[in-house]
A and B are shown apart, each in its own frame.
Chain A
Amino acid sequence: MWKSAFVALLVLASGAFSACSQDPGSGPGGEGSPSAGDGTVGALTIGTTAPNDAFTVFSESGAFGRMNYNAFVAAPFWTMDGEGKVKPFLVREWEIDPSSREITARVAVGQGISWHDGRPFTLEDVLFTFDYLMTRTRKSYVADLERVERLSGDSVKIVLKKPGAYQWIQLAAGYLTVLPRHVWENVEEPLKFSAPSAAIGCGPYRLVSVDRDADISVYEAVSESYLGRRLTVRKVILRTYASQDTLVMALKRGLADAMYDYSNALEATLAPGLQGVEGLDPGMSLNTGNFQIVYGFRSRPTSDLAFRKAATLALDYELLRVTIGGGYGLIPGIGVIAPPNIGFDPDLPRLGRDLAEAARALDEAGYRDLDGDGLREGPDGEPLEVSVLPQYNRVKSAVYLRLCEIVVRNLKDIGIRAALDGKGASNPDHNAALRKSGSYQIFLGYTSPGMARQTSAYYYFVDSSVTGQWGTCADPEFMRAYAERKEAADEGTYVALTGELQRINSRLYVAAPLCWNMAFFPYRTDRYEGWENYPGWGPVNAGTWYALRGK
């Protein structure tokens, strides 16, 4: 009796010991082998720094919301490939009419897609989604829509207020997802709705569990295939790490398989630590997004062309390149748009520091040092102090503060007194208020890879009356070019007008990129193959679920 009990205890103890000493690569919670043996991926662990705290298909924030940009739990109408080309998803076919105001879309109803609570996905859900978003939200995706109407059992017509169908689809692709009518139709305040049913989508993966203490959420494939494509990743574990440093350590140790952090690619300063690690690819790609300096047109002196030109010429782009991009960045061109994006113009000149030319521009415009203190006064003789506001970003705060320090110092080199807006840098509410009111003078911001691919950085430069963002440039020529581009009916027109915007910027100095940097989204190659590293986006994307294979 005692002997049996002792043996049983020993077995239990050894089991406990083996559980404690399991291969770290087997994933959190001991899900077993990440590869299912038939080439599929049993459990893919994705590391992020976004919090695992909100699980609603309505929201785009948090780890869950951001993962849905990859056609994950919530299903988008369109997605984008690695080159920024729009690809079908729930909308299987579409046609833009010659006026560029109407889109006829055939939707994948009756093709085996169902909501994650078992109800079928119907055209009613599509119509409901547009109606719901247009009447109860201010999402930018629907701001330009006039109406959406049923054409047949599987087709709808999307009518825009003004021409601009091509640009609208670019904006919606990957971001605009369908909502289940039966869940949301009685929800009056969607942003406050957080019931478990809020996480119901009709994408290829469903949420199965959340461990809030461990900051982990787990998802599983809804079926063998989705929209005719085999889902090779059977299970996804989304794990939040406190910082990018800890995420890198987890990747190195095999505790995570890939990094996904939407626009927050790994800081270039962390990249050297990824080189030469066996089984780990640094996931380097030329970033589609970029850091930029944006001038405020609603206050002096940044509303003055001469000042903007001088400030742009005063910046030390080599130092900015190293600070933002480590040893991997490129000195950018005045056109702002980075090389991987649609509309990139290689013929526009690269930026360079020219203190003499900057000083000449200021002298000619009347910015002179009148009191001999080494700092210039304004043309009216009044003291000049320029405020530099960095974008508020928890992950990128250190690099933003460094960029501010460089800009302040560089401006001092041409006799301009500038200072960091400390309150704006530390207080997100104050920062948002300054941005939204357009009352900043110099704003250091970032165009995320997604927005760069969809609408380009110019979305953040043009006056906020057009976009609802924080741009302040209302120059008539700039506004006209932007409006015409928005109405482009095809890619060729869009590219031509994007080129025009860039040429205007080279004359008006509305904004300037600070660096064209590389994006790093590391991933492990020792257990899987078939990764496709989208430029600026990384290896976790809308194609991952169908392409990844276990080794």
Chain B
Amino acid sequence: MTGKLGLRPRIGAAILLALLLAAVFAPLVSPLDPYEFGIPYLEPSAAHLLGTNDVGQDILSELVYGARVSLIIGVTAAFAVTAAGAAVGLTSGYWGGKADVALMGLTNVFMSLPALPLTVVLVAYLGPGLRNVILAICLTAWTGTARVVRSRVLQLKELPFVKIEKTLGAGPLYVMFRHLLPNIGELVFVRGVLAVASAMLAEAGLSFLGLGTAGAKSWGSILHYAFFRGGLVNGCYWWYLPPMICISLSVTGFLLLSYVGERRGPAAPAAGAAKGRRADA
């Protein structure tokens, strides 16, 4: 990931940076306390730029604070999912044999589970909340990364530089972490970025169903109340459109950022081009 970023990743990064700043500095950016009650159903005005909801809370302030929950869940879940998926894929692909059969069997089992219903049921039984939502999202979301990483490792381990390392007596962990992992770094990064977008959408869906982070503001929960407290039926566009735009924008941001790896091309690197201290030895 060296060199200048392309236009698409730069736009994505700009969007995400803006959202990140809003989330981090929410108390400064937010015009009002998003939990403070006021006059319900106010249309956008100078006092409330995006109007108020059914209990008079300022919708702009809700959006700013909502970015925190959405981003925390998205990034944390994506990190966990990507780490787990990469570890399983790396181990499975490098070791092969019974380990590969066992890990891929496990992956297939989790892939066959209906992700959304399982997530909904899990959150319903564990109870809403940041930790449980992340856990429920993670449970089935790691499988795609595991499969992709495994395929890549199967290619890489047949390359000369890996074989040389083995011949020279390098242990499996050394080869995996010093040579294979750096060579799948971009792939993992792209999977991770896409996983953030996916996790944010999952959180929005759970919150929309009333199963999100209980009591905390999130974009999905704003949508939940907008739909179930008369926002849609009564034409309160200022209530339901902004969270939809925010969700779309942030997902777009992550998708654009994922183009960061495209520049280097899809083909497997040659031995000399491979990363790692011993690759060009």
Residues of A within 8 A of B (CB): 245, 248, 267, 269-270, 272-273, 316, 319, 322-323, 397-399, 401-402, 404-406, 408-409, 419-420, 422-427, 430
Contacts and interface: CB of A to CB of B under 8 A. Distances in A.
B37 A422 contact: no
Interface in B204-228: 210-211, 214-215, 224-225, 228
Q: Which 8 A-B pairs have the closest CB atoms?
A: A269-B230, A423-B127, A422-B214, A398-B228, A422-B128, A422-B127, A426-B124, A420-B214
Interface in B125-151: 125-129
B83 interface: no
A489 B224 CA distance: 49
Contact of A426 (B37, B56, B210, B228): B210
19 contacts: A245-B232, A267-B230, A272-B230, A273-B230, A273-B234, A316-B37, A319-B55, A322-B40, A397-B210, A401-B214, A402-B225, A402-B229, A406-B37, A409-B37, A426-B128, A426-B210, A426-B211, A426-B214, A430-B125
Contact of B230 (A270, A422, A427): A270
A425 B230 contact: no
A417 to B, nearest CB: 12
Given A323-B54, A425-B214, 15 more contacts: A245-B232, A269-B230, A270-B233, A272-B234, A273-B233, A316-B37, A319-B56, A397-B210, A402-B225, A404-B215, A406-B37, A419-B215, A425-B210, A426-B124, A427-B125
A401 B210 contact: yes
Contacts of A408: 215
Nearest to B56: A319
A405 B233 contact: no
B123 interface: yes
* B interface majority secondary structure: loop
Given A322-B40, A427-B124, A269 B214 contact: no
B35 interface: yes
Interface in B17-71: 35, 37, 40, 54-56
Contacts of A319: 37, 55-56
Contact of B54 (A245, A269, A424): A269
Interface of B: 35, 37, 40, 54-56, 123-129, 210-211, 214-215, 224-225, 228-230, 232-234
Nearest to A400: B210
* A interface majority secondary structure: helix
Contact of A397 (B55, B129, B228, B232): B228
Given A319-B37, A408-B215, A409-B37, A269 B127 contact: no
A73 B13 CA distance: 64
Contacts of B229: 267, 269, 398-399, 402
Contacts of B214: 401, 420, 422, 425-426
Contacts of B56: 319
Contacts of A427: 124-125, 127
A409 B35 CA distance: 8
A427 B225 CA distance: 19
A270 to B, nearest CB: 5
A98 to B, nearest CB: 53
Contacts of A323: 40, 54-55
B55 A402 contact: yes
A98 B54 CA distance: 53
A398 B210 contact: yes
Nearest to B215: A420
Contacts of B233: 245, 248, 269-270, 273
Nearest to A388: B215
A409 B36 CA distance: 8
A427 B121 CA distance: 9
Nearest to A323: B55
Contacts of A267: 229-230
B234 A426 contact: no
Contacts of A406: 37, 55
B187 to A, nearest CB: 37
Contacts of B228: 397-398
Contact of B225 (A273, A316, A398, A404): A398
Contacts of A404: 215
B58 to A, nearest CB: 14
A319 B40 CA distance: 9
A228 B40 CA distance: 52
B210 A405 contact: no
A366 B214 CA distance: 30
A494 B256 CA distance: 70
Contacts of B211: 426
